[in-house]
Structure 1
Amino acid sequence: MTRIVYYTASTLNGFLADAENSLAWLFAVDDAGAPDIAAFMDGMGVFVEGSTTYEWVLREEKLLENPAKWAQFYGSRPTYVFTSRELPVPEGADVRFASGQVSDALPEIIAAAGGKDVWVVGGGDLAGQFLDINALDELVITLAPALLTGGAPMLPRNLGPDRLTLRDAVARGQFAQLTYAVSK
């Protein structure tokens, strides 16, 4: 059965990106022993992200200038980008744009996953939209040894302990990875 998983890195105080939408704080952390993202991605059939995340990846990795790099990050999996704007697509990439309510696009996203899981890459508000419609099954939060004074929150929603069950907590180098099941 297809699960929807929000897998993200966060500062200790709950930010995904700084006030300029930069992840420089994350890349400053020694990644020796960091979680194996490739192993996680093997179980994913579809990626879902917001336009800020998508545009950051395009810009930072220069994917429009080097479209062959897209496959290094996403493989041949479809990527759904939620946006109200027209955005560029790297040549050969399977990018599908969605606008409006997550609930409207959800059946298509699940079908495209082909029985594998759906990775909500980011941002936090998009993950919150999945949570709002009881479609988020799991949170995998990789906490990094960094603190920011502001920026993009990891999950800008209220979510109490009555809906979260800790499944795993492990040290991965400088990171702590927490996995929670989310009840409906």
Structure 2
Amino acid sequence: MTRTVYYTATSLDGFIATADHSLDWLLSRRSDPDGPMGWTGFEQRVGALAMGATTYEWMQAHDPGGWAHSVPAWVFTHRRLTGYPGADIRFTRADVGDVHAEMVAAAGDRDVWVVGGGDLAGQFADRGLLDELVVSVAPVTLGGGAPLLPRRLELVRTEHAVNGEFVCVRYDVVRTRPGSATDPADA
């Protein structure tokens, strides 16, 4: 079954990038891509990508070797962006709810990876389309920047591990019926 997963890293104080969109704090950290909850195992489950324009532009600026993904990618943007030759990148201004079924179909029996950022993941969550959050917490504070997930979201921890310098946690997103006794809005 295809799941929509926000797989990311965060600082201890809950930011995925600095105010100037830098990831230097992350790239200097040690982890094992083949270790617990590591990148290698996750990447094998991915059949489609969703990302915002800022994440896409950061990837263009910091990956001079070209597009590193072989699966279709949707970039949610209102900007005019350039693609990579031969890559299946689809720029869209549509609401995430309007293209989610297309992403799931493209993913086949694999997952949709919400690459970034936090607000985009929040848009999926707002529409009940986010299934899982996998976050690796780095031992650093940034004091500000792009928040991990600028929404209230109820989660249930399903797994945790230590990988290098990171504490990694997998959560399922809790879905409730509006107005039910378990609806977080009623708390």
Structure 2, unmatched stretches of 5+, are: 176-187
Whichever residue aligns with residue 169 of structure 2, its letter is L
| 1:116 CA drift (Å) | 1.1
Q: Which residue of 2 aligns with 1:125?
A: 119
Q: Which residue of 1 aligns with 2:12?
A: 12
| 1:27 CA drift (Å) | 1.2
| 1:110 CA drift (Å) | 1.0
Given the alignment, which residue of 38, 58, 64 partners 2:40?
38
CA RMSD of aligned residues (A): 1.3
User: Residue 180 of structure 1 aligns to a residue in which SS?
Assistant: strand
User: Which digits, 9 at most, give the CA deviation of each residue in 1:67-98, with x for residues without a partner?
Assistant: 3xx2xx31x20011000122111111110111
Residues in 1 aligned to 2:32 and 2:171: alpha-carbon distance in whole angstroms? 24
User: Residue 141 of structure 2 aligns to a residue in which SS?
Assistant: coil
Residues in 2 aligned to 1:107 and 1:167: alpha-carbon distance in whole angstroms? 26
Q: Which residue of 1 aligns with 2:63?
A: 61
25-34 or 92-101, which moves further after superposition? 25-34
Q: Which residue of 1 aligns with 2:87?
A: 93
Residues in 2 aligned to 1:36 and 1:103: alpha-carbon distance in whole angstroms? 29
Q: How many residues align?
A: 173
Residues in 2 aligned to 1:122 and 1:84: alpha-carbon distance in whole angstroms? 16
Q: Which residue of 2 aligns with 1:50?
A: 52
User: Residue 146 of structure 1 aligns to a residue in which SS?
Assistant: coil
2:170 matches 1:179: yes
User: Residue 13 of structure 2 aligns to a residue in which SS?
Assistant: coil
Residues in 1 aligned to 2:31 and 2:173: alpha-carbon distance in whole angstroms? 28
| 1:32 CA drift (Å) | 5.0
TM-score by length of 1: 0.90
Given the alignment, which residue of 128, 138, 149 partners 1:144?
138
Contact 2:6 2:133 in 1 (8 A): yes
* Structure 1 residues 32 and 114: alpha-carbon distance in aligned structure 2, compared to 1, 3 A threshold: closer
Residues in 2 aligned to 1:31 and 1:165: alpha-carbon distance in whole angstroms? 24
Contact 2:156 2:172 in 1 (8 A): yes
Identity %: 47
2:118 matches 1:116: no
Q: Which residue of 1 aligns with 2:178?
A: none
TM-score by length of 2: 0.88
Structure 1, unmatched stretches of 5+, are: none
